[in-house]
Amino acid sequence: MTDLGKLSYFLGMEFSYMAAGIVMHQSKYAKEVLKRFSMETCNPVTSPVEVSLKLTKDEEGEAVDETIFKQMVGSLRYLCNSRPELSYGVGLISRFMCQPKKTHLLAAKRVLRYVQGTYDHGILFRTQKQKLELELEGYADSDYGGDLVERKSTSGYLFLLNKSPISWCSCKQKVVALSSCEAEYISACYAACQAIWLEELLAEMRMKTSSLELKLDNISAINLAKNPVSHGRSKHIEVRFHYLRELVSKEKLKLVYCRTDDQLADLFTKPLKPERFENLKKEIGVVSLKNMN
């Protein structure tokens, strides 16, 4: 075995050591992506997705090079490994990789324009005193029927380990939800599966965690998971999503209500105003290297 010293670069991931902790970023890779698509001199924007953006198939729109569009989306996908705030925007444009139109390309370029102004951003893993138990907390959220093509909702979840993000997701749900409660319930089920996997992974590494909590901003979804009496409203929900109810009944997972203003997973489900976007970005631990020096 050879000791290579402190980790500084690995598969496009860069690691900078600061007084506050370790910052994982992809500054070099981000610059390469911008140069590859001739966006290195573009004007930066404050958010990756416009608040009023509503993307459809746009069948009558002007067609663009499908190969270039797919390369653009693929490059941005890899950048999401250290940039959780890009997940929703990249996931949105990923839905239109087949026969992309000019509107879809403009949305992708908007994400690149955001990257241009924030290429030095990354995740901060804070340096803290040794704890007997690690604090693992999760957030789950969804919009309702946000996809204009199939009228499906978007699920989003985020897991923080000692206040640093270690797992996140933004994806379109596979079924059409009939209510916002059902959309939130399905999103919570996706997050619950990830929570159990993370807990088992940490246990394999002999790392103790405190009681597992998943925070939702929908009381109806929490009640649906706790109370099987509301069968009439939930009998159409696929059986696999009731895995959440089983975890709650066995006390393996605790659902906790949080205000919408405190819901960090809001970042993964819909376009947000720049002020709200910036606040959530800071809350989940995305920082700028310039501000850390």
| Topology adopted by domain 129-258 | Nucleotidyltransferase; domain 5 (3.30.420)
- The whole-number pLDDT of residue 183 equals 93
- Average the pLDDT over 235-259 and give the result: 85
| Pairing of the two strands 213-216 and 136-142 | parallel
Per-domain residue ranges of the chain: 9-123, 129-258
Tokens of 238: 């696929």
Helices (H), the chain: 27-36, 66-79, 87-94, 102-117, 180-204, 219-226, 231-234, 243-249, 274-283, 289-292
Tell me the per-residue pLDDT of 20-49, one tens digit each, with 9 for 90 and over: 899 999 999 999 999 999 999 999 999 999
pLDDT of 14 > 80? The answer is yes
Which residues neighbour 189 within 8 Å (Cβ) at sequence distance 6 or greater?
Answer: 240, 241, 242, 243, 244
Q: What is the pLDDT of residue 131?
A: 61
Residues 6+ apart with CB under 8 A from 246: none
Full 3-state SS string of 69-83: HHHHHHHHHHHCCCC
Determine which of 85-99, 105-119, 120-134 has the lowest per-residue pLDDT on average: 120-134
The share of the chain scoring above pLDDT 70, in percent, equals 94
Instruction: Give the C-alpha separation, 80 to 169, whole Å.
Output: 10
- The whole-angstrom separation of Cα 52 and Cα 135 is 37
